[in-house]
């Protein structure tokens, strides 16, 4: 099968590879680049575990081909904090509020919440729950996640 050369800015680094045209972006990130924080739960775009930021917008990487990301900027959960010794403020808020249990859904939820909080830095509880509605979590019941977002308060969410 033909391969296509792609060039993507991933977590601040330009990555160039030849890929099969039908390679999913989630598989490219996980298997080709070793960015295993992007989890694959349903492979149908329903669970939200594979959510990444593409040009600042939360997208499901299991619904995109890697070639579709050519020329774009991607941030995965591994790229949230620019300081390897510190967590991103949202990650820290989740840790402090016990906003995760098994952790499988957490990367996708964090990636969903980043653009949400950039647009709405002081959300109400119903707004937070609506933002989380596209991400499935079978462990927490979401309350601790809501508490983590509230804990952020007016703290600036930057990538």
Give residue 105's domain range: 89-152
Residue 98 domain-assigned (yes or no): yes
The string of pLDDT tens digits covering residues 59-102 is 999 999 999 999 999 999 999 998 889 999 999 999 999 988 88
User: Around Cβ 135, how many Cβ atoms within 10 Å?
Assistant: 23
* Contact in structure between 53 and 114 (CB atoms under 8 Å): yes
* CATH assignment of the domain containing 136: 1.10.150.120
Share of residues in the chain with pLDDT > 70 (%): 95
Residues 69 and 120 reside in one and the same domain: no
- Residue 83 is assigned to a structural domain of this protein: no
User: Is the overall model pTM greater than 0.85, yes or no?
Assistant: yes
Q: Return the pLDDT at 138.
A: 86
* Residue where a domain terminates, one of 47, 78, 109: 78
Residues 73, 99 share a domain: no
Residue 159 located in a structural domain? no
Taking CA 75 as the corner, what is the angle to CA 97 and CA 93, rounded to the nearest 5 degrees? Answer: 10
User: In degrees to the nearest 10, what's the CA dihedral of 129, 132, 138, 144?
Assistant: -60
Query: How many domains does the chain divide into?
Result: 2
CA distance linking residue 145 with residue 15, whole number of Å: 33
């Amino acid at each position: 099968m033909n391969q296509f050369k792609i060039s993507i800015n991933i977590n601040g680094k330009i990555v160039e590879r030849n890929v099969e045209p039908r390679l999913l972006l989630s598989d490219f990130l996980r298997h080709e680049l070793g960015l295993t924080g992007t989890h694959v739960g349903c492979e149908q775009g329903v669970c939200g575990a594979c959510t990444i930021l593409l040009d600042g917008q939360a997208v499901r990487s299991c619904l995109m081909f890697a070639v579709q990301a050519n020329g774009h900027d991607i941030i995965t959960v591994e790229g949230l904090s620019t300081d390897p010794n510190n967590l991103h403020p949202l990650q820290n808020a989740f840790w402090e509020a016990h906003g995760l249990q098994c952790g499988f859904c957490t990367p996708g939820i964090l990636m969903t919440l980043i653009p949400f909080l950039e647009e709405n830095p002081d959300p109400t509880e119903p707004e937070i729950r609506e933002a989380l509605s596209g991400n499935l979590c079978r462990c927490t019941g979401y309350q601790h996640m809501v508490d983590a977002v509230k804990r952020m308060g007016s703290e600036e969410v930057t990538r």
